Amino acid sequence: METKQLKRQVRRNIDRFPKDFMFEINKEEFQNWRSQFGTSNASDKMGLRYAPMVFTEQGVAMLSSVLNSPTAIRVNIQIIRVFTKIREVLTDKLNLKLEIEEIKKKLSNQSKNIELVFNYLDELTKKLETPEKPRNKIGYKN
């Protein structure tokens, strides 16, 4: 697809490209970029004469849905597949986290119960270790 056609499609669908999806570099950035890459100056008929559009990751996804070329269609299909796979992975991860939290709660309750049992055992051993006072006999005395 020619750059001219790509820019035309973006301009026709500009509402689909908010600032966090696409932007054009400013004049200073453009001049700096041109000097770094050694592109021709504006008097020649070669090289870039207009600031290029810059697309973020989301902008590329949107661009692939706006353009109607075989490559754009393949990219769009691949993006949908990746998003679906990511959702599946996140769902599986969420289920795993919930199961881990449930196991933690059970372990916490078990450790509390074990601690309670040991406390009761300590109390019983203390009772067995301390001799009981002799009881006063009740009933008839001789």
The full 3-state SS of 57-90, as one line of letters, equals HHHHHHHHHHCCCHHHHHHHHHHHHHHHHHHHHH
- From the CB of residue 67, how many other CB atoms can be counted at a distance below 10 Å? 19
Residue 50 lies in a domain: yes
Residue 126 lies in a domain: no
Residue 57 lies in a domain: yes
Q: What is the pTM of this model?
A: 0.46
Please tell me the predicted confidence (pLDDT) of residue 48: 65
In sequence order, the β-bridge partners of residue 55 are 22
Tell me the mean pLDDT in the region 11-19: 88
Residue 68 lies in a domain: yes
Q: How many domains does the chain have?
A: 1
Domain of residue 22: give its range: 3-98
- Could you tell me the pLDDT band of residue 45, with boundaries at 50, 70 and 90? very low
The amino acid at residue 43 is: S
- Position 41 pLDDT exceeds 70: no
Residue 37 lies in a domain: yes
Alpha carbon distances (Å) from 23 to 7, 39, 124, 127: 12, 21, 77, 81
Please tell me the predicted confidence (pLDDT) of residue 40: 53
